[in-house]
Structures are given as C-alpha cells and as structure tokens.
Amino acid sequence: MATASASKAPLPSGIVSYEDYIAKNKVKPISNAMDQGAFLTLFTTQLKNQNPLDPVKNEAFVAQLAQFSQLEATNSMKTSMQAMVESLQGDKMLAGAAMIGRKVAVPNGPLVLLGGQPIDATVDLPTGADGVQMQIMDQKGQVIRKQIFGAQMVGPMKLSWDGMNDSGASMPDGTYTMQVLVNAQGKAIQPVVNTLATVRSVSNAGTGDNTWLLEVDGGKSVSLTDVKRIAY
C-alpha cells in the first residue's frame, strides 16, 4: 500500500513554527543585563502609560531619576578608570625605559664582575649587628673571599667587593655570589643582600598582569615596583 508523503501546510503570515523560534533564539542569546538605553526606554514607557487618575508619585519619580543618574555616573567612572589604567601603563613603560643603563638594587642578585670594577651591595640591619661576615663565592660555590666587620648601627650597611680573592689576586670576569652572615642580639641571621646591577632592558611580556620587569646583568629580573635604590 503506497503512502503519500504529507507536506507541511504553510503558516499564516506573522506566525513562526516552534522549531524556527527555538533556532532563532539560539542564535540571539537573551541578556538579563539592563544597559543605559534599556533603562531609559523603560522609564519613558512608564511615563507614557501611567494612569492619569493615579500618576506616579513625585517620590518614585525622583528615585527613578536618581537611579538613572547613578547609572550614567557609573558608566562614566568606568570609562575614566580604563583611560587612567592605560595611561599608567604608558608611564610605567617610560619609567622603566629611563632606567636602562642605570644600576638598581636587586635582592639576592648575582655579582657580575667586569674589568675588575668594584661591586657594591647593601644589607638591612633593623636591630644593628654585633658582627658581620661577608663571603664571595664563585660559580662552583667555593668561597674565594671572606671579610669580617665589627659592630654596626641600625640601618642599611654598605658592602663592596674589589674583585680580588683572599690572596690579593684579581678574579676573572664572570658571575659571583655574595653571602652575608650577621650576629645580632645573640642570634645568627642571613639577611637579603641587595646587589647593584645594570639594567639592560625592560619588558612586561609573559607576566600576565602587566607587571613591568627590569632585566639586569646576570640574567635576573626584578619588578619595577620592587626597586628601592637607583644609582649611576
């Protein structure tokens, strides 16, 4: 027995099928957020359709106007904050670029010896010190120079290495490490050594949060916001 294929009857004008309605709304997702234009449309529609015998009270009218003004102010503030953030990013880049060629204090940074030039460093002594010992180590971790200093006052202590070992011989150019041991109030502590290193470049690539990094001698990087000392 042959079965005739039934074709869908055309729908009246202005009416869409359920399948077409679902497909259309999948393409255009519904947003629950009300922007400035939607608020203004809703507000004017309410005024046009209010009951003349029972109009909107003045208090409600003023409250809605205040909400509208607050919405405008919030949008304006957001735009201003975005512009300020972009401007600050540009200022940070210029500030970092101005440091290229200068020396900055790098926490626990390497000592890069070039041409026998002295290398300066500092350590913070918040309680002073009864005695301080400075050690210079080569890339193998061997101590090549040791110096002992007497009592120190509270505050930063300046240290310097002249590029020589304990025998008075000049060390070859390369990367070294400074370690400081402090005896203060009967306790032995090892403070952070801030060495001065020359800035070679500035970049925020790969940081993810637009943090600007200063790349210094020895392959170490320091955040621009962590710089506490700049020298020539």
Residue 26 placed within a domain: no
Model confidence, pTM: 0.54
Assess if residue 130 is contained within a domain. Answer: yes
Q: Using alpha carbons, list the distances in angstroms from residue 224 to 99, 176, 208, 209.
A: 10, 24, 15, 13
Q: What is the reported pLDDT for 11?
A: 58
In a domain, 81, yes or no: no
CA distance to 32, 61, 80, per residue, from 26 (Å) = 15, 37, 35
* 63 token code pair: 């409250």
Q: At which residue do the structure tokens 């020895």 appear?
A: 218
Angle of CA points 177, 131, 127, to nearest 5°: 95
In a domain, 158, yes or no: yes
Domain count, the chain: 1
Which pLDDT belongs to residue 134? 95
Q: What is the pLDDT of residue 4?
A: 46
Q: What is the mean pLDDT of each run of 10 residues along the chain (232 residues)?
A: 51 64 60 61 73 66 69 74 65 69 81 87 91 93 94 92 93 92 90 85 69 76 73 68
Residue 25 included in any domain? no
In a domain, 61, yes or no: no
Start-to-end Cα distance in the chain? 100
State the Cα–Cα distance between residues 161 and 195, nearest whole angstrom. 11
Which residue range is the domain that position 127 belongs to?
Answer: 103-231
Is 29 within the bounds of a domain? no
Residue ranges of alpha helices (H) inside the chain are 18-27, 36-48, 58-97
CATH of the domain at 203: 2.60.40.4070
- Say if 121 falls within a structural domain: yes
Question: Cα 69 vs. chain centroid, distance in angstroms?
Answer: 33
Report pLDDT for 5.
46
Q: Which amino acid is at 230?
A: I
